[in-house]
Amino acid sequence: MISKDPLHGKTLESIITALVDHFGWEGLGQMININCFNSNPSIKSSLTFLRKTPWARKKVEDLYIRIIDTKQ
C-alpha cells in the first residue's frame, strides 16, 4: 500500500535541500524567517536547529508539501 503522506520516506535533509534548490537560501529565509536560513545558512546548521525546534520544522515541512502540491 502506498502512503498518502507526502513526507513519507523523506529525510529532513532532503526536504531542506529541495527547498534550497527551489528558493535559494535568501528566498527560503524570506519564506520562513529563521536565523538558520538567514545568517550563514548551511544544511548542517539548519538540520541542527530544525531537529530541536518543532514549530520551525513544521513550517519547513508545510512549505515543502505546498511546493510538492504545485509540481503535481
Q: Is residue 31 part of a domain?
A: yes
Q: Is residue 67 part of a domain?
A: yes
**Rg from Cα positions in the chain:** 12
Instruction: Work out how many domains the chain is built from and give that number.
Output: 1
User: Which pLDDT tens digits describe the chain residue by residue (72 residues)?
Assistant: 667 888 988 999 999 999 999 999 999 999 999 999 999 999 999 999 999 999 999 999 999 999 988 765
**DSSP 8-class letter at 3:** -
H-only helix segments in the chain: 12-31, 35-38, 43-52, 54-71
Residues of the domain holding 48: 12-71
- 39 is written with which cell numbers? 545568517
0.75 exceeded by the pTM?
yes
Q: Is residue 22 part of a domain?
A: yes
Residue 41 maps to which CATH number?
A: 1.10.720.30
Q: Is residue 56 part of a domain?
A: yes
